[in-house]
Amino acid sequence: LADLGAKPSQFSTDATPNTFEEITTYNNFYEFGTGKSDPAEYADALTIDPWTVKIDGMVDKPGDYSFDDIMSGVELEERIYRFRCVEAWSMVVPWVGFELADLLDRVGVQPGAKYVAFETLYRPEEMWAQKRPILEWPYREGLRLDEAMNPLTILSTGLYDEPMPKQNGAPLRLVVPWKYGFKSIKSIVRISLVEDMPPTSWNMANASEYGFYSNVNPQVDHPRWTQASERQVGGGLFAKRIPTLMFNGYEDEVAGMYAGMDLSKFY
Amino acid sequence: MTLPDRINAAVRAVPSWVLYALAPLPAAWWFYLGFTGGLGVEPISALEHKVGLFALQLLIAGLAVTPLRRFAGVNLIRHRRAIGVVAFFYVLLHLLIWLVLDMSLLWSQIAADLVKRWYIIVGMASFVLLIPLAVTSNNWSVRKLGSTWRTLHKLVYGACLLGGLHFVILSKGFQLEPMVYMAIIVGLLGLRLVPKRRPMMARA
């Protein structure tokens, strides 16, 4: 595999990353099945070349952008981020990518836009579990515009300096490190700048458990389990739980965006 | 000989101690896999789920004994106690894996889960219902309790329903597998409501 040549970033954590095997064999990507090993088993079926992302809504330059269009002139960075799943497990992942803000600046966000909506590919002949009503397909996610423009928010095209494995959301996925993992939508085919808060898949499925914001917050439990602690994947049979950090440890960088908001209400 | 007769003959030939002797093997195998990387990179939840699912399958097997005898002529009754006792130990093992490996014995979080989380409450209730059944699963209790024993052991219906519900409500999104387990449990209980045409004669 070609090395992507990603540059180091000041935003990387100095925590030790999980192994490539851990990151690529323990995944939630329900389009390929609900088991943790299903994505590694079935994602091979996905065609990622050609790949087109529709960028529409309140932008100056809407259109269908090929993966190469999106990548042209982009300088890739390595971002080693903590990754915290809503299911109370976590990893450290050396993502490769670029800031979402770079792309949004290139297409020109119009003044009225307040949110960014994302969609995953819908192709049930390659993503077999989309034939099952596990969620309402296609998978949808969204961010407030200031969240989308935050320098921590990246579009990721690889990990361990290699192109993104399919089970991790090839060729292009979002990574928002201070939110639960399901916000970091995979295999993106549409990015829309919109005025109103967009519908998001897990919120549509169960609004009382999955809020639009879904910021990592040890004080606000998931209704069915505690979010106060987590287990880092890779510790084996006797791995101990560790305390979960507010905003997954990115409080300094992101807390200001939520000043004055009741985070137990806007969970 | 019909197929049920052949099955019954084969079942009669197996002494109960064989089931008890084989019972720890799946757990031992899964622990071995967990130690050696065979359960993937997150062995704790994999082990917890495998043991829990096997416990539910054993509870269902126990629940199937009566309908199998009545509607299919297959008589597994002499092994029902062993199935039930082994099911109880797998439920207990599932609980211990949750407490020790999954929750790292963080008692304050465990206590909070036990009062706040419905799937934990339901699962724990299922375990609690099984305790008196495990305690009275010996000949002395059967003799001592008489007809009360049969009534008491109907608690297993509730334990199975709660076990199935535990699986349904811990799942994320709309998943088929837990629904199928729940449907089987409800079906096996429903079969007990089918009216008998005449008093059951001894079937040998």
Reported ipTM: the value is 0.79
Q: Please tell me the distance in Å from A7's CA to the nearest CA on chain B.
A: 28
Q: How far apart are CA A83 and CA A55, in angstroms?
A: 27
Look at residue B200 and tell me if it is in a domain: no
Residue of B nearest to A218 (CA): B109
Phi, psi (deg, nearest 5) at residue A222: -65, 140
Question: Where do the DSSP E strands lie in chain A?
Answer: 52-57, 63-66, 77-84, 89-99, 115-120, 140-144, 154-159, 162-163, 173-175, 188-194, 229-232, 242-243
Whether the bond between B132 and the residue before it is cis, its omega within 30 degrees of 0, is no
Query: Which among A28, A209, A224, A227 is the top mutation candidate for probing chain B, defined by the most B β-carbons within 10 Å of its own β-carbon?
Result: A224
Query: Could you give the residue ranges of the DSSP H alpha helices within chain B?
Result: 3-13, 16-22, 24-35, 43-67, 80-96, 107-116, 118-135, 139-145, 147-152, 155-170, 176-191
Q: Give the B window 118-157 contacts with A, CB below 8 Å.
A: 118-119
Q: Is residue B199 part of a domain?
A: no
d(CA A77, CA A151): 12
Q: How many domains does chain B have?
A: 1
pLDDT over 70 (residue B169): yes
Q: Please give the full DSSP string across A225-256, using - where no structure is assigned.
A: B--SEEEETTSGGGPPPEEPPGGGGTHHHHGG
Token digits of residue A254: 């992101």
Q: How does DSSP classify residue B69?
A: I
Q: Which residue has the tokens 């309402």?
A: A136
How far is A119 from B125, CA to CA, in rounded Å?
Answer: 41
Q: For residues B10 and A132, what is the distance between their CA atoms, to the nearest angstrom?
A: 41
Per-residue pLDDT band for B3 (boundaries 50, 70, 90) equals confident
- Cβ–Cβ below 8 Å for B174 and A228: no
Of B103, B112, B174, the CB nearest to A133: B174
Nearest to A241 by CA among B120, B102, B200: B102
Residue B38 lies in a domain: yes
Q: Which of B51, B99, B172, B174 to mutate to test the interface with A (most CBs of A within 10 A)?
A: B172
pLDDT value for B201: 61
Cα dihedral sign for A103, A93, A40, A129?
A: negative
Q: Which residues in B lie closer than 8 A to residue A229 (C-beta atoms)?
A: 104, 106, 109
- Coil, helix or strand at residue B106: coil
The rounded average pLDDT for each run of 10 residues, N- to C-terminus, in chain A (267 residues) is 86 96 97 95 97 98 98 96 96 98 98 97 98 95 98 98 97 98 98 98 93 96 88 92 96 96 92
| Mean pLDDT score, B78-104 | 95
> Mind telling me how many Å the CA of A37 is from chain B's nearest CA?
8
Within the 139-198 window of chain A, which residues sit less than 8 Å (CB to CB) from chain B? none
Q: Which domains does chain A have, with CATH numbers?
A: 20-258 (3.90.420.10)
Contact flag A225-B113 (C-beta cutoff 8 Å): yes
For chain B, give the mean pLDDT.
Answer: 92
- The closest alpha carbon to A173, from A226, A97, A115, A232, belongs to A97
> What pLDDT shows up at residue B200?
59
- B196, part of any domain: no
Residue B111 domain boundaries: 3-191
